Structure 1
Amino acid sequence: MIIKNEIVDLPTATGTMRTYVYRPVEDGQYATVIFYSEIFQQTAPIARSAAIIAGHGFVVLVPEVFHELNPVGTVLAYDEKGKDKGNHDKFTKPLASHDSDTEAMIDFADQASFCNGKIGSMGVCIGGHLAFRAALNQRIGAAACLYATDLHSNTLPADDADQSLARAGDINGELLMVWGRQDPHVPDANRADINQALRDSGCLFSWHEVNGQHAFMRDEGVRYDPELALNCYRLSVDLFRRALA
């Protein structure tokens, strides 16, 4: 589908959050997918990923995930300085603040004439974790979590009982979990721990391990694998079409 994009500044419990909206040009009501970025916020690769999903007939919302910690419109570079700043932000923002951001985007979708009330989440890297985190909200019907970081480590700001994986039993929607087997951020043993935690919690999930490095979906840099990326987009679209129908 041909798409268009716009910018909205949403009020949240922790301040204004710039959110990028991608949606079909054709009039109608569509399911919403909240797309959580890497630590670098909405870079060009993230914008292209959002456009791909929107082009399959979804409204895609891309929030500035660390809006409290940066000027509006901040995009961090894919370099050491950008990585250091993004990681600092990741370990500074409480998980509870991400929860209120999700609620703000759900409120927006509920009021938008082009949304149909069905909502999913998707993300890469820390965004994969945030897509998982969003699924703790009962309005999220499906979550595509792509090489999600920090689920196993319990290192993001929250009490132990409020860590995302510890609350997996609160998830009612369907999960898609995708991992790169050559990803050093989530080694074999940690992936096994996450898998067991999801089983113990009774989650409905599918599990895919591919021969890819971390950030294999980012279409800039030496780790990009186009075939794997296309397969993951297809898995995600299939999930949303089924679970958000």
Structure 2
Amino acid sequence: MGERITITTEDGAFSAYVARPDRSPAPAVVVIQEIFGVNQVMRDVTDGLAGQGFLAVCPDLFWRIEPGIDITDKSEAEWKRAFELFNAFDVDAGVKDIAATIDAVRKDPGCNGKVGVVGFCLGGLLAFLAATRTDTDAAVAYYGVGIDARVAEADKLAEPLMLHIAEEDQFVPKAAQEIILQALKNHPQIEVHTYPGRDHAFARAGGEHYDAADAQLAGGRSLAFFQKHLG
């Protein structure tokens, strides 16, 4: 279903996985990866969005470290590598690469001009920052790690943002969640949903903490949000 495109920046070029909907032109969604690279889970998310009517694009944001990372959450060695990549990753450069992806997608003949972003884990943080630093039309962040340290950036937010927070997230402790909720819950552009009993990556199909019911609930909320703001 997917294809590959190349996105060129001042720093170099990187690839992105693209899935196209049946109808064109369509609104677009940039899918922002977890710490495992553009793996099968991310490609499935991208394909799923195309099936829902969006031009979906998942850029390789680890290209500055090593292009083409594609690992899983199934082995200790892969987890070790994933955290090495996470620690080596330049968040600010990543947001610039997302901005370049948004620009490239807007110019695609298959795009109607509207572009949203959705991110998971590390990508959840990047989706939040894309909402505050880029011209994306709407953003959805799933269990973003590190948002609590950057809530002040919400002052720059001009377009709608949805946050999905797992209440038992091992990577976003209760204290961090409280900072996020207190700072953002009354922001006019931000919609926050919390999921009791859920751990990090509850929407990662096949993952240890996957919960089908809440993944479907969050996915339905995200779809309605994008249909409203990108339609």
Q: Same fold (TM over 0.5)?
A: yes
Of 16, 19, 26, which aligns to 1:19?
Answer: 16
Name 2:77's counterpart in structure 1. 81
Please tell me whether the aligned partners of residues 143 and 176 of structure 1 are also in contact (alpha carbons under 8 angstroms): yes
Of 205, 208, 223, which aligns to 2:209?
Answer: 223
1:149 aligns with 2:145: yes
Name 2:156's counterpart in structure 1. 170
Shift of 1:188: 2.0
Query: What amino acid is aligned across from residue 75 of structure 1 in structure 2?
Result: D
Shift of 1:47: 1.5
Shift of 1:203: 4.8
Please tell me whether the aligned partners of residues 98 and 130 of structure 2 are also in contact (alpha carbons under 8 angstroms): yes
Between the aligned partners of 1:65 and 1:59, the Cα distance in structure 2 is 19
Please tell me whether the aligned partners of residues 106 and 114 of structure 2 are also in contact (alpha carbons under 8 angstroms): no
Name 1:161's counterpart in structure 2. none
Name 2:51's counterpart in structure 1. 55
Name 1:116's counterpart in structure 2. 112
Distance 1:206 1:31, change over 3 A: same
Name 1:196's counterpart in structure 2. 182
Q: Secondary structure at the match of 1:81?
A: helix
Query: What amino acid is aligned across from residue 61 of structure 1 in structure 2?
Result: V
Between the aligned partners of 2:87 and 2:125, the Cα distance in structure 1 is 13
Please tell me whether the aligned partners of residues 109 and 115 of structure 1 are also in contact (alpha carbons under 8 angstroms): yes
Please tell me whether the aligned partners of residues 180 and 209 of structure 1 are also in contact (alpha carbons under 8 angstroms): yes
- State percent identity of aligned pairs: 28
Shift of 1:138: 4.5
Query: What amino acid is aligned across from residue 166 of structure 1 in structure 2?
Result: A
Query: What amino acid is aligned across from residue 13 of structure 2 in structure 1?
Result: T
Between the aligned partners of 1:22 and 1:134, the Cα distance in structure 2 is 21
Question: How many pairs does the alignment contain?
Answer: 229
Structure 2: runs of 5+ lacking an equivalent: none
Shift of 1:239: 0.5
Between the aligned partners of 1:77 and 1:184, the Cα distance in structure 2 is 19
Between the aligned partners of 2:168 and 2:185, the Cα distance in structure 1 is 23
Structure 1: runs of 5+ lacking an equivalent: 155-163
Between the aligned partners of 1:198 and 1:14, the Cα distance in structure 2 is 34
Between the aligned partners of 2:134 and 2:14, the Cα distance in structure 1 is 22
Please tell me whether the aligned partners of residues 13 and 97 of structure 1 are also in contact (alpha carbons under 8 angstroms): no
Between the aligned partners of 1:224 and 1:61, the Cα distance in structure 2 is 23
1:239 aligns with 2:228: no
Name 1:158's counterpart in structure 2. none
Name 1:205's counterpart in structure 2. 190
TM-score by length of 2: 0.92
TM-score by length of 1: 0.87
Of 64, 76, 100, which aligns to 2:96?
Answer: 100
Distance 1:205 1:233, change over 3 A: same
Q: Secondary structure at the match of 1:227?
A: helix
